Structure 1
């Protein structure tokens, strides 16, 4: 439960899993290229999340995605960069099994979304039992993934997350609920001297959007995990670096620079959020490198003509800035 590659503060990207247009088979060459591109930009690696269409993959494909990514990182000299992989599924038993397989394939950490299929039949106590079972048995440290939109509306409050943060195998929470207040309360608890005295490892509070990165950092967040990192990783890393420096020094000019970068990232992030996974993959192919994103697996639709037009305007400023870095 103590990986040799430490998880650190910063910005992380939930990678898309690229599929070939003809067969919807995983395009491992494109995956390797994206992993190395993001690592070179100092963007952390998260596999098999929502953007990664984990629910569309077989167990064999999940393991292969992790192995290929680990090999690509090692071969490109990024041996110290950890991999976090999504293993949440419909039951505690299967989530634990997938966590074991993720470890065997080369993952260092796992991120677990609550089981949403039976959301109508479970309550808070059942969900807490689910996470305790996973935390007790997972061979890798676990980050809780709070994303109501992908879990049938299940939305954990700060009390629930603070309780689970006390488990020694829980090392963080991704908050794709866009709640700065929830993150602030969780950060205040886990950054306190009393908490640190009980826990030898740090706890990471990671918003799931980059459009709130600056205000989240003010509230002691550890960084963010953002799908927009698939498109503009260098820009988001620069926003993070500028914001952290401004908050540490109190430099007014740096803070203004961080605000201006946040304006740019918020505009791009909203375009990507509205476009969905199909739009994200289209933007990667159109504005980064042809074939890098690939197609989504059915039933997810590709980007419509309307989405393509929206992305052209919504990403214009951010793409120009990214290409200037």
Structure 2
């Protein structure tokens, strides 16, 4: 099921802020406790904190509760993020914004609005609401993405997250096929399958692929607990919600792993393994704690008011989640605070 390469809607030379290898954080959207209104001051504080830690910026994803936001709120989040970056000297940091929704038509509209608000790239999840009809209908799912790739004014990253798409899970063949579209610049794999990522990376890093595509392709695992093995398997970095809490630690893991792979240094590899031990422990705690737990941890361990509360019906962190985080984040937070 080969995809005929299409003309790029935006050539690399027109991209003012190129996407690069590295570690990125899907930001939470902080809501005020009493009104559930967006706390833009807290959002901008977090944007600058992550930029200072050299963590890339992703907004309006799963952690950002994009499905809980109105279209105006989505655009406002992007504008606030761009403003925070630009006014603090981070004008070259790109914004990757989530625009996936139930139909190709609306996803394209949201992508246009994201561009107008200041986004540089978009990330699109499969339409999970009709998974009972589409889950095994790969031609229809492929058409959805081809339509979006054709119609989006910004380069598109495919977001493969079965847990947030009612079980829809793409294999490497499907992703490799979409990667041939000139407006597809990457894939986020929140399916935790390193082998899938390796096959996709091997294809998109080949000389033949590069000859057909002027823009690089980025394979980004959706968890930091597999960052080291994923980098060994040619991944470009990762996009991790745990970056909301321990960004400097995850950046340190990435830097150490890249140095070890570049030099073959045994000591650097062992240092990367030890950091991966630390990050894997923290990442698992954050995954189990969910969005409410992530927001609680930001308020409790980083800065009061930074995380806020989830929007209903997502629950805030309860006693058990708070205890889980106190244990699961203890070592990682100590290391984070030492950097």
TM-score (norm 1): 1.00
CA distance in 2, matches of 1:206, 1:267: 20
CA distance in 2, matches of 1:136, 1:249: 41
CA distance in 2, matches of 1:306, 1:180: 31
Instruction: Give the alignment partner of residue 16 of structure 1, picking from 3, 28, 44.
Output: 28
**Aligned residue number for residue 231 of structure 2:** 217
1:202-232 per-position Cα deviation (integer Å, ceiling 9, x unaligned) = 0000000000000000000000000000000
1:40-72 per-position Cα deviation (integer Å, ceiling 9, x unaligned) = 000000000000000000000000000000000
CA distance in 1, matches of 2:156, 2:91: 21
Alignment of 1:141-180 (within 5 A): 141-180=155-194
Instruction: Give the alignment partner of residue 261 of structure 1, picking from 275, 288, 291.
Output: 275
Asked if 1:279 is matched to 2:324, the reply is no
**Aligned residue number for residue 5 of structure 1:** 17
Give the count of matched residue pairs: 325
| 1:212 match: secondary structure | helix
Deviation at 1:4, TM superposition (A): 1.0
**Aligned residue number for residue 124 of structure 1:** 138
1:142-195 per-position Cα deviation (integer Å, ceiling 9, x unaligned) = 000000000000000000000000000000000000000000000000000000
Instruction: Give the alignment partner of residue 73 of structure 2, picking from 38, 57, 61.
Output: 61
CA distance in 2, matches of 1:313, 1:97: 44
Deviation at 1:274, TM superposition (A): 0.1
CA-atom RMSD, angstroms?
A: 0.4
Instruction: Give the alignment partner of residue 36 of structure 1, picking from 13, 37, 48.
Output: 48
CA distance in 1, matches of 2:143, 2:332: 43
| 2:225 match: secondary structure | coil
CA distance in 2, matches of 1:121, 1:11: 35
Asked if 1:102 is matched to 2:114, the reply is yes
CA distance in 2, matches of 1:281, 1:71: 23
CA distance in 1, matches of 2:335, 2:259: 20
**Aligned residue number for residue 84 of structure 1:** 96
Is there any run of 5+ residues in structure 2 with no aligned partner, and where?
Answer: 1-9
| 1:211 match: secondary structure | helix
CA distance in 1, matches of 2:234, 2:262: 12
CA distance in 1, matches of 2:125, 2:148: 11
TM-score (norm 2): 0.96
Structure 1 stretches of 4+ with a deviation exceeding 6 A read none
Is there any run of 5+ residues in structure 1 with no aligned partner, and where?
Answer: none
